[in-house]
């Protein structure tokens, strides 16, 4: 019974991820910022942006609490992980993690300090 539920859940997550991906993987532009899917070449910069934000918020950096950041592509393989880039610099991240049909959780939402609380006039 548990095996059947696990297989059903895996199918559901793939389907939700595909539905979210159809929407989220389109490249969007916000002024000079381009939102696009995460690529393996983004690993170091995206991880640093997220950890820096957590350190700024909590006053310390504890890598042991963030094992998903060691390999973002693998950790979020069934999700949609996006990066916001201003030219070549990653200025934001966020992921949509499937939870059920048509429902996803937003996680790893991070924006570099000098780009927070700004109005987009694109």
Express each pLDDT in 69-93 by its tens digit.
999 999 999 999 999 998 889 999 9
61 lies in a domain? yes
Q: Which domain holds residue 57?
A: 2-115
Q: What is the CATH number of the domain that holds 104?
A: 3.40.630.30
122 lies in a domain? no
Residue 3: exposed, middle, or buried by beta-carbon count in 10 A (0-12, 13-18, 19+)?
A: exposed
Domains in the chain, number:
1
120 lies in a domain? no
Residue 52 has pLDDT above 80, yes or no: yes
Ramachandran angles phi, psi of 80, nearest 5°: -115, 110
In degrees, rounded to 5, the angle at the alpha carbon of residue 66 between the alpha carbons of residues 79 and 57 is: 105
17 lies in a domain? yes
Q: Give the closest residue to 69 by CA, choosing from 96, 51, 92.
A: 51
When the pLDDT of each residue in the chain is averaged and rounded to a whole number, the result is 79
Q: Which helix (H) or strand (E) holds 19?
A: helix 2-24
Residue 5: exposed, middle, or buried by beta-carbon count in 10 A (0-12, 13-18, 19+)?
A: exposed
42 lies in a domain? yes
Residue 23 has pLDDT above 50, yes or no: no
64 lies in a domain? yes
pTM (2 d.p.) = 0.72
């Amino acid at each position: 019974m548990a095996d059947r539920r696990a297989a059903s859940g895996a199918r559901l997550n793939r389907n939700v991820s595909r539905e979210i991906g159809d929407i989220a993987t389109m490249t969007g532009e916000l002024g000079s910022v381009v939102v696009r899917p995460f690529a393996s070449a983004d690993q170091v910069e995206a991880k640093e942006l997220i950890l820096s934000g957590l350190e700024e918020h909590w006053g310390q950096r504890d890598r042991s609490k963030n094992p998903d950041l060691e390999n973002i592509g693998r950790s979020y393989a069934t999700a949609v992980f996006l990066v916001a880039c201003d030219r070549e610099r990653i200025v934001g991240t966020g992921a949509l993690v499937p939870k059920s049909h048509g429902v996803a959780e937003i996680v790893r939402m991070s924006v570099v300090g000098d780009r927070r609380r700004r109005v987009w006039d694109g």
